[in-house]
């Protein structure tokens, strides 16, 4: 039994003790009073009895009052202690969650940290199982999960806002408590082998907008008090803010490393990747090739058709490059109408084949021709020379009539 419950039950008992004592005192003196009337009959003794009775009764009342005030003071202290204990527990949980989600701005890592931390908190009696949905339009993407079979994942690949308990929390923005999945009509998604369980579904908000949902598992038919619900609501806001910050960071980082028009990497990104790729090629003596591309007669096209059409051509050329390269290759908007493609694990012959495919696809997509120069790493070449040689080869392609691929000497 908690301290507050103990104090609540002691209050009526104290009242009863004081009343009983006063009643007993009154009965004793009433008996004495009657005895005196029938046997003594002296007024002086009667007055003395009455005075003694009043004095004793007054003493009982004063002592009872003192005990009552002391009891109230003790109750206040117990209540304050309970409130401080609860507040301290809440602060400990919030600090633990804050410390955990503050470790990274990487979204994938953040999602995993959130699940591991929340399902490990003893205060909520949750099962070590759950997941996070992120809202994308009217859809919900399961971005992180813990303890689910494949059958569960298959059923939740195409969740919509409003579907099942998680979708309902995303739609309403309110915490949803479900005591038992087997008897809750709102729990509409079931999978083979599903064991009866409870849920607490927490909308994740940033700037008062629901951006996702955290769902946790509870043992079936367990109750969750308002203190825990309010605490998990605070944690939901905390997590929502952390996810939004990480997302903004990744978007900002991506924008700072990519060309805003074409979506290709920019020269800053190239510097980072090129440094690593060249160092690896040199260290383990692996192939590394580079393609420089320039759109033929682009200035004339821009002057004739306008910058909007020019931007469309740049975007289509970028798409052609991406279509003909691998995920490990790096396509770069090098400047103006110039592009660069970094090809790890690719020798000169293969790089020329890639360049020729890009040339043909670019013309097919845009009706515009491009010229390309190719260079490849060897032991005597430096990183900067690789770019210079590809640029020289590009210049040769221009000099030889454009719309062709040339290789560095």
Out of 174, 275, 327, 337, the active site residue is 337
Q: What is the structure's pLDDT at 157?
A: 85
- What mean pLDDT do residues 54-60 have? 61
Residue 38, burial from CB neighbour count under 10 angstroms (0-12, 13-18, 19+) = exposed
Residue 222 or residue 36, greater confidence: 222
What is the pLDDT averaged over residues 247-254? Answer: 81
| Torsion sign (Cα): 119, 123, 127, 132 | negative
288 has a pLDDT exceeding 90: yes
pLDDT of residue 228: 83
**What pLDDT sits at residue 122?**
77
Strand ranges inside 25-152, DSSP E: 127-136, 139-146
Strands 370-376 and 405-407 come out as parallel
Among the residue ranges 100-109, 126-135, 257-266, 379-388, the one predicted with the least confidence is 100-109
pLDDT digits (tens, 9 = 90+) for 1-34: 444 444 455 555 655 555 565 556 555 655 555 5
Q: Mean pLDDT over all residues of the chain? A: 83
363 catalytic? Reply is no
- Tokens for 183? 């008897």
Predicted pLDDT at 6: 47
340 three-class SS: strand
Collect contacts of 138-146 with beta carbons under 8 A, ≥24 apart. Answer: 140/166, 140/167, 140/170, 140/212, 140/213, 143/107, 143/108, 143/111, 143/212, 144/108, 144/111, 144/112, 144/114, 144/115, 145/115, 146/115, 146/116, 146/119
Q: What is d(CA 391, CA 235) in angstroms, rounded to the nearest whole number?
A: 55
The predicted model scores a pTM of: 0.57
Phi and psi at 197, nearest 5°, equal: -155, 165
Q: Measure the CA–CA gap between 330 and 382, rounded to whole angstroms.
A: 19
Question: CA nearest 189: which of 224, 155, 161, 218?
Answer: 155
**What pLDDT, on the 0 to 100 scale, is given for residue 169?**
95
Task: Return d(Cα 213, Cα 216) in angstroms, integer.
Answer: 10
Whether the per-residue pLDDT at 96 is higher than 90: the answer is no
Closest by CA position to 204, among listed 127, 135, 156, 102: 135
> In terms of pLDDT, which residue wins out, 31 or 273?
273
Evaluate if residue 395 carries a pLDDT over 50: yes
At 72 the pLDDT is 72
Residue 35 has pLDDT above 80, yes or no: no
Q: Is residue 261 predicted with pLDDT exceeding 90? A: yes
Tokens of 355: 């360049």
Query: Does residue 178 or residue 42 have the better pLDDT?
Result: 178
Say how far apart CA 202 and CA 205 lie, in whole Å.
Answer: 9
- Nearest Cα residue to 274 out of 384, 120, 109, 173: 384
- The pLDDT of residue 312 is above 60: yes
Query: Do 155 and 189 meet the contact criterion of CB atoms below 8 Å apart?
Result: yes
**Residue 86 above 60 pLDDT?**
no
Radius of gyration in angstroms for the set of CA atoms belonging to the chain, rounded to a whole number: 40
Between CA 394 and CA 373 the distance in angstroms is: 4
**Dist. CA 94–CA 272, nearest whole Å:** 38
**Torsion-angle region of 162 (φ positive above 0: left; ψ -120 to 50: alpha; else: beta):** left
If one counts every other C-beta atom within 10 angstroms of the C-beta of residue 1, the result is: 7
Q: How confident is the model at residue 46, as a pLDDT?
A: 56
In 3-state terms, what secondary structure has residue 198?
A: strand
Give the pLDDT score at 1: 47
| Residue carrying the six token digits 């009775």 | 53
Residue 362 scores a pLDDT above 70: yes
Contact (Cβ atoms closer than 8 angstroms) between residue 5 and residue 75: no
Strands (E), 245-337: 288-295, 330-335
Q: How far is 240 from 114, CA to CA, in rounded Å?
A: 11
């Amino acid at each position: 039994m908690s301290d507050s419950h103990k104090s609540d039950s002691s209050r009526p008992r104290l009242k009863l003790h004081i009343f009983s004592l006063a009643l007993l005192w009154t009965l004793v003196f009433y008996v004495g009073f009657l005895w005196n009337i029938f046997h003594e009959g002296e007024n002086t003794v009667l007055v003395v009895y009455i005075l003694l009775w009043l004095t004793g009764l007054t003493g009982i009342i004063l002592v009872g009052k003192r005990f009552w005030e002391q009891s109230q003071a003790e109750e206040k202290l117990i209540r304050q202690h309970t409130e401080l204990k609860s507040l301290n527990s809440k602060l400990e949980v919030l600090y633990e969650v804050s410390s955990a989600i503050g470790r990274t701005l990487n979204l994938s890592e953040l999602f995993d940290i959130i699940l591991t931390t929340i399902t490990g908190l003893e205060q909520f009696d949750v099962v070590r199982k759950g997941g996070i949905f992120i809202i994308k339009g009217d859809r919900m993407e399961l971005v992180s999960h813990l303890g689910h079979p494949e059958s569960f994942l298959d059923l939740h690949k195409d969740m919509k806002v409003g579907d099942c308990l998680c979708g309902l929390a995303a739609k309403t923005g309110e915490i949803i408590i479900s005591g038992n999945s087997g008897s809750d009509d709102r729990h509409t998604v079931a999978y083979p082998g599903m064991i009866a369980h409870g849920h607490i579904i927490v909308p994740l908000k940033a700037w008062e907008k629901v951006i996702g949902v955290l769902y946790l598992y509870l043992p079936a038919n367990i109750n969750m008090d308002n203190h825990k619900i309010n605490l998990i609501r605070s944690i939901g806001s905390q997590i929502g803010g952390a996810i939004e910050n990480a997302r903004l960071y990744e978007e900002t980082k991506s924008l700072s490393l990519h060309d805003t028009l074409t979506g290709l990497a920019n020269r800053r990104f190239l510097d980072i990747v090129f440094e690593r790729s060249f160092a690896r090629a040199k260290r383990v003596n692996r192939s590394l090739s580079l393609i420089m591309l320039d759109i033929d007669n682009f200035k004339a096209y821009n002057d004739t058709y306008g910058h909007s059409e020019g931007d469309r051509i740049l975007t289509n050329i970028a798409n052609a490059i991406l279509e003909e390269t691998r995920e490990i290759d790096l396509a770069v908007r090098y400047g103006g109408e110039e592009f660069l493609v970094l090809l790890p694990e690719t020798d000169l012959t293969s790089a020329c084949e890639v360049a020729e495919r890009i040339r043909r696809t670019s013309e097919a997509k845009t009706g515009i021709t491009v010229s390309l120069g190719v260079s490849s790493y060897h032991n005597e070449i430096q990183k900067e020379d690789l770019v210079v040689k590809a640029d020289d080869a590009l210049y040769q392609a221009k000099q030889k009539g454009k719309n062709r691929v040339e290789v560095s000497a």
